[in-house]
Structure 1
Amino acid sequence: LIAQMLPVSDNERKTLLVAGAAAGMTTVFGTPIAAIMLAVELLLFEWTPRSFIPVAVAAIVAEVERTMLHIPGPIFPFQGGMAISFAGLGGWVLIGVAAGLLSALLTQMVYACEDGFQKLPIHWMWWPMLGGLVVGIGGLIEPQALGVGYDNISSMLDGRTIATAALLLLVVKAVIWSVALGSGTSGGVLAPLLIMGGAMGAVLAGFLPAADPGFWALLAMAATMGGTMRAPLTATFFAVELTGNTHVLVPLIAACAAAHAVTVLLMKRSILTEKIARRGHHLVREYRVDPFALTRVHEVMTTQVQSVPATMTLHGAAAFLTAPETRHPSFPVIDGNRQVLGLIDPPAILRWRRAGKHRTTTLGELLAGSKVTLAYPDEYLEGLSDKLLMANVSHLPVVARDDGTLVGYVGWKDLMRVRSRKQAEERDRTALLGFGTRRGKQEGAA
């Protein structure tokens, strides 16, 4: 609402929206760091000061106000833990893998239900009623599956939930949650994921290394949340802040990383971005620096530039551009001091002929007083692409800053070559330290 009233850009409006969401999450759960990480990992899709600082300020202020209002926290106090060991590490990874498999299954169930409802020969208005019916039947089977579920989370963290009850809760909650979301019924994500993940952890606790009661349930909660939402850092800090226990930070990040790896291998998108993708939008979840912002013009420009003299006539330029041996569409025009006067291409020749210019007029005379857009060897391709777009040309001459002489030529193809080179850096694999193997292969090839 505030963003609609203020004269801000679209990016600033998005930042204010996310800042409000982070403040709301902090107020409800008392997790400012997790709220900030959620904004970075899931909502903003960028890591810049212009977005990070407003979100951080909103979350911190919300936490201060929450404390001033004497809202209790942490919501689910937990003091348990586990000694760090290699056996423990194996258990952390195993619970993370199991959570990743559960995350993939839950995502498939939700969208399988959504697809199933769309195939029903009834109006969509009836879908929530059918979803509510399934939820009611699930509540009759396991009443603990209904409601917000905070009591379930507390019980699992206290170690008071037995394996059989946890298994029943997991199955019923997964079914009614998937059907509810698939039918379009309003439902949450955070608390249900914590409940289902915690139930799975309670079931598997008897098969994992010994730890304090509730420890494996906590790890499974965070890993299921992180795997399903593809936000491992958010899930890690969320669990730490919910419980007020920083001693489980390493086990949590290990489990969340393992779950994240499994879901990345099994699913193209998370449960949240899948719905956006189904609406025809493409989202990139990886942070990458634009190679145009790191590459200078002199790294990609052509140094052996074929130019034409300013003394060439209009007739000679037309003959030169239409000659069979001419392979480029445009050429820089230079004077005797290698100063660039402009560019010639077929549209320019036609424009001059239609304007009634005599065929013996030199290019220097035709280009006199014209404004030339130039590139410089030390500028970055990020600015060069803007110049090409604003000038509506495919090539630009590159001149030295000190004397303005022509030193190169650059175009769109050179810019695209940078992206190809970046892809090759990610695709091509080479062993740099082969201990003689690589050297022997090279000598054998020679």
Structure 2
Amino acid sequence: MSKIPVAPSLDDLLNEGQQPGQERPVSRRVLFLSIQAVLNAVIIGFIAKLLVALISLITNLAFYGEFSFHETSPAHNALGIWVLAIPVIGGLIVGLMARLGSPAIRGHGIPEAMEQVLTNESRIKPIITLLKPLSAAISIGTGGPFGAEGPIISTGGAFGSFAGQIMRISPNERKVMLTAGATAGMSAIFGTPVAAVLLAIELLLFEFSPRSIIPVALACATGAAMHLLLFGTAPVFAMPGILAPTYGALIWYTAMGAVIGVASALISKSIYLIEDLFERLPVHWMWWPAIGAVAIGVTGYFAPYTLGVGYNNITELLTGSASLQLVLGLCFLKFISWSVSLGSGTSGGTLAPLLTIGGAAGLGLGMLVMHFFPQSGINLPTCALIGMAAMFAGAARALLTAIVFALETTMQAHGLLPLLGACTASYFVSFFMMKGSIMTEKIRRRGISTPQAYEPDILQHLRVADGMAFNFITALPEENIVQVKARLRAEGNPQLPLVVEDGDRRFAGIIGLQQVYQAQDKDNIASLVLPAKTWIYPESSLDTAIQLMDRYGLEYLPVVRKDDKSKIVGILTASQVFTAYRKRRNAGEQYQQAISVKRRRNKLIVSSRKWLGKER
């Protein structure tokens, strides 16, 4: 017979420096996770560099017939009408890879990572680590209007998840590893460690705690260091210095943000409308990327600058001197090629296209304002800057990430106030126009909900004393079963277990009622009771109690005095925890209702006084 492990007491857990529900001390676990996250980030940095080099190689092969890793744009190709075929060939290859390899390579990147966090205990198939960057490089290298950030975020998340599965850690710790890998990829591409940390909080972690933030932050810092090593120290999107805005200009920037918020919501909805249209096609989804690539080829023929990643387009927009033709082309033609191809389910990202379309929209709005209101005080580079960030904030519902990302990629400190006003306005408008975001709508349609707010855990703020039962039946070890059964029947067959105390009223253990009723009449209590190895204190949180009960499969916990563990003061059961939670939740709702009633009453009093004053 195998030996059953003895559950440690709360004191044992706390003396080891760990929280209930964890196998090792928190500090040691965080240290191990942080070391692994940093090592993963170094590898992911090289993967990011390899992805960029692979995109350049495929671009040179597809559009110029050269075997070269030199970074170039497909916009200068001389293929003529044959440019229509290049994206279609790339779409065929991506569709075939998804069919034969894994369908998980299709899509944006971030929504798929979110889905694995929420539904699959952060488990991603290891093959995604290979197939996602390869498929994305083919898609982008053959003209796909996407950025490298979405695929590298997905690849980094897959690598972090794979490392977590090898380490055999808990699902929550694996979520941290997945998030650290994903955000390290973003930081390695853009050199934006703070924005990457904020992205983790707003879109992937769904929590804020030292156990999760420390490994993620270290991974993002390492990713940024890899960016400096592999990509250089210059800002990703260089732009001329901008002056501190006037109060009048801030009003205009905020209003532009609101307009772009409307556009971001419409763009997000259009992506999923196009996806719905592809769902109705009478052909297998393997062929959809090739069909969607037709839009890339057609727009690329008339506007070659819409092909490929297009980071150079963002830089040109941020100068404020882009031509009206380029602005309109990036607003509309880039949107058409990106939305149709992404809606077809090909492998690509959303961040770079959103930044491009948003920057063009902001610059276009700035041109209009300066034409009709030349004394507005705005400047065009700032308009492009707030446009790209506001589009990201509204479409992705990542307010803080968008603001800090724009600051880190341009190094323009005077852009902070315009960014704050424009991004908040865009976020506000988008929030009321859409239930989800471009990142969450896909998984929301599958019945998977994502947290909309980070509220404190009620159970962490409730004490055990708020939920435990104080009235319980006690028995002595020498009492026989017949006497105890008679007393239980006299008490109306209570639901709480039987507490055993010795002659000096010292706590000896607990016996379940079913165990008592099934015992032989000749037995006594001493033959049934086992010493309690797990207990909790009245001052402890209900969250701690729940973790103990869940970990060791306990139906109840004895509550003892902290200064004298031989004295039991109550019993805690799962139903009592639920009752305490419901009461606190209802109390909060009743408080809000009371405030609402009070406000309505005050308004009624004020209105009555005004009416009486008029009558007089």
TM-score of the alignment, normalized to the shorter chain, above 0.5:
yes
SS across alignment from 2:357: helix
SS across alignment from 2:439: helix
- Cα distance in 2 for residues equivalent to 1:342 and 1:195: 68
Picking from 568, 581, 584, the partner of 1:419 is 581
- Cα distance in 2 for residues equivalent to 1:368 and 1:5: 41
Correspondence for 2:540: 379
Picking from 232, 243, 246, the partner of 2:410 is 243
* Cα distance change of structure 1 residues 48 and 351 upon mapping to structure 2, 3 Å threshold: same
Aligned: 1:306 with 2:472:
yes
Structure 2 residues without counterparts, runs of 5 or longer: 1-158, 371-375, 606-616
After superposition, where does 1:18-37 map in structure 2 within 5 Å? 18-37=179-198
* Cα distance change of structure 1 residues 379 and 18 upon mapping to structure 2, 3 Å threshold: closer
1:321 positional shift: 4.3
- Cα distance in 2 for residues equivalent to 1:389 and 1:265: 39
Aligned: 1:232 with 2:394:
no
After superposition, where does 1:287-326 map in structure 2 within 5 Å? 287-303=454-470, 305-310=471-476, 313-322=480-489, 325-326=492-493
Any conservation in 2 of the 1:82–1:211 contact (CA below 8 Å)? Answer: no
Greater percentage in helix? 2
Picking from 439, 451, 458, the partner of 1:284 is 451
1:249 positional shift: 0.9
Correspondence for 1:95: 256
Picking from 268, 287, 308, the partner of 1:107 is 268
1:224 positional shift: 0.9
- Cα distance in 1 for residues equivalent to 2:524 and 2:456: 46
Picking from 463, 488, 495, the partner of 1:328 is 495
The aligned amino acid for 2:475 is P
Any conservation in 2 of the 1:321–1:346 contact (CA below 8 Å)? Answer: no
Any conservation in 2 of the 1:240–1:248 contact (CA below 8 Å)? Answer: yes
Picking from 543, 546, 556, the partner of 1:395 is 556
The root-mean-square deviation of aligned C-alpha atoms, in Å, is 3.3
- Cα distance in 2 for residues equivalent to 1:369 and 1:413: 23
* Cα distance change of structure 1 residues 164 and 210 upon mapping to structure 2, 3 Å threshold: farther
SS across alignment from 1:397: strand
Any conservation in 1 of the 2:464–2:539 contact (CA below 8 Å)? Answer: yes
1:193 positional shift: 0.2
Aligned residues: 429
Deviations 1:77-113 (A, max 9, x none): 231245241x444333322322322222122111111
1:212 positional shift: 1.3
Any conservation in 1 of the 2:498–2:512 contact (CA below 8 Å)? Answer: yes
Query: Which range is displaced more, 401-410 or 107-116?
Result: 401-410
Aligned: 1:153 with 2:320:
no
Any conservation in 2 of the 1:302–1:408 contact (CA below 8 Å)? Answer: yes
SS across alignment from 2:540: coil
The aligned amino acid for 1:291 is I
Any conservation in 2 of the 1:82–1:212 contact (CA below 8 Å)? Answer: no
Any conservation in 2 of the 1:338–1:406 contact (CA below 8 Å)? Answer: no
- Cα distance in 1 for residues equivalent to 2:341 and 2:402: 23
Aligned: 1:42 with 2:212:
no
* Cα distance change of structure 1 residues 53 and 182 upon mapping to structure 2, 3 Å threshold: same
1:366 positional shift: 3.9
1:120 positional shift: 1.3
- Cα distance in 1 for residues equivalent to 2:427 and 2:586: 26
Any conservation in 2 of the 1:333–1:344 contact (CA below 8 Å)? Answer: yes
Query: Which range is displaced more, 214-223 or 311-320?
Result: 311-320
Correspondence for 1:261: 428
Query: Which range is displaced more, 411-420 or 187-196?
Result: 411-420
SS across alignment from 1:272: coil
Query: Which range is displaced more, 191-200 or 73-82?
Result: 73-82
Correspondence for 2:169: 9
- Cα distance in 1 for residues equivalent to 2:297 and 2:455: 46
Aligned: 1:124 with 2:291:
no
Query: Which range is displaced more, 135-144 or 243-252?
Result: 135-144
- Cα distance in 1 for residues equivalent to 2:441 and 2:324: 32
Structure 1 residues without counterparts, runs of 5 or longer: 442-446
- Cα distance in 1 for residues equivalent to 2:231 and 2:438: 35
* Cα distance change of structure 1 residues 109 and 298 upon mapping to structure 2, 3 Å threshold: same
- Cα distance in 2 for residues equivalent to 1:61 and 1:123: 42
* Cα distance change of structure 1 residues 124 and 152 upon mapping to structure 2, 3 Å threshold: same
Any conservation in 2 of the 1:162–1:202 contact (CA below 8 Å)? Answer: no
1:163 positional shift: 5.4
Instruction: Please report the TM-score for the alignment, with normalisation by the length of structure 2.
Output: 0.62
SS across alignment from 2:167: coil
Any conservation in 1 of the 2:500–2:529 contact (CA below 8 Å)? Answer: no
Aligned: 1:406 with 2:568:
yes
- Cα distance in 2 for residues equivalent to 1:263 and 1:321: 61
Any conservation in 1 of the 2:295–2:340 contact (CA below 8 Å)? Answer: yes
- Cα distance in 1 for residues equivalent to 2:491 and 2:530: 31
After superposition, where does 1:47-196 map in structure 2 within 5 Å? 47-68=208-229, 71=232, 73-78=234-239, 79-85=241-247, 87-161=248-322, 166-196=327-357
The aligned amino acid for 2:407 is V
- Cα distance in 2 for residues equivalent to 1:332 and 1:20: 50
Any conservation in 2 of the 1:163–1:202 contact (CA below 8 Å)? Answer: no
Deviations 1:285-325 (A, max 9, x none): 5334433333321233233x132433764234434545694
The aligned amino acid for 1:287 is Y
SS across alignment from 2:380: coil
Percent sequence identity is 36
* Cα distance change of structure 1 residues 221 and 296 upon mapping to structure 2, 3 Å threshold: same
The aligned amino acid for 1:246 is A
Instruction: Please report the TM-score for the alignment, with normalisation by the length of structure 1.
Output: 0.83
Query: Which range is displaced more, 400-409 or 104-113?
Result: 400-409
